[in-house]
Amino acid sequence: MTEASGWRHQPVTAHPVSRLRCPECNWLQLVATAGGPPVTECPWCWWSGVEAEPGGAFAALTCPAHGPVLVVIPEAGNEGGGISPDDFADLCCPHCRQPAG
């Protein structure tokens, strides 16, 4: 997609986010792993056997001016329900609107 500014948005690959509350350390966490297996360990305290649930989606992009940017859309707090990786559109840098590189 090309905007009036001439910048062309590049498609991004989005991935699911896992949401968990560890029964040991009690931290509520969102874990974003591109293509990883199901989350079964707490990354904070290493507790095993945690049960993660869908927590949203994320995509990474690289801005020529600002470097790596991670866009996370959490499942909770959005009207209309959750988001899946298939819902992501082309992204631009949220700081300067340059397209993903």
What is the pLDDT confidence band of residue 80, given thresholds at 50, 70 and 90? low
Q: Is residue 100 part of a domain?
A: no
Reported in sequence order, the residue ranges of the chain that DSSP labels E, i.e. its strands, are 14-21, 28-32, 53-63, 67-74
Tell me which residue range forms the domain holding 62: 14-87
pTM: 0.73
Cα–Cα distance for residue pair 21/49, rounded to 1 Å: 11
Given a cut of 50, whether residue 96 has pLDDT beyond it is yes
Q: Is residue 73 part of a domain?
A: yes
Instruction: Identify the pLDDT of residue 9.
Output: 54
Instruction: Identify the pLDDT of residue 25.
Output: 96
Q: What's the mean pLDDT in 61-75?
A: 88
Structural domain total, the chain: 1
Look up residue 39 and give its amino acid.
V
19-62: pLDDT as tens digits: 999 999 999 999 998 888 999 999 999 999 999 998 888 988 88
Q: Is residue 50 part of a domain?
A: yes
Q: Is residue 9 part of a domain?
A: no
DSSP per-residue string spanning 40-60: -B-TTT--BS---EEEEEEEE
Q: Is residue 76 part of a domain?
A: yes
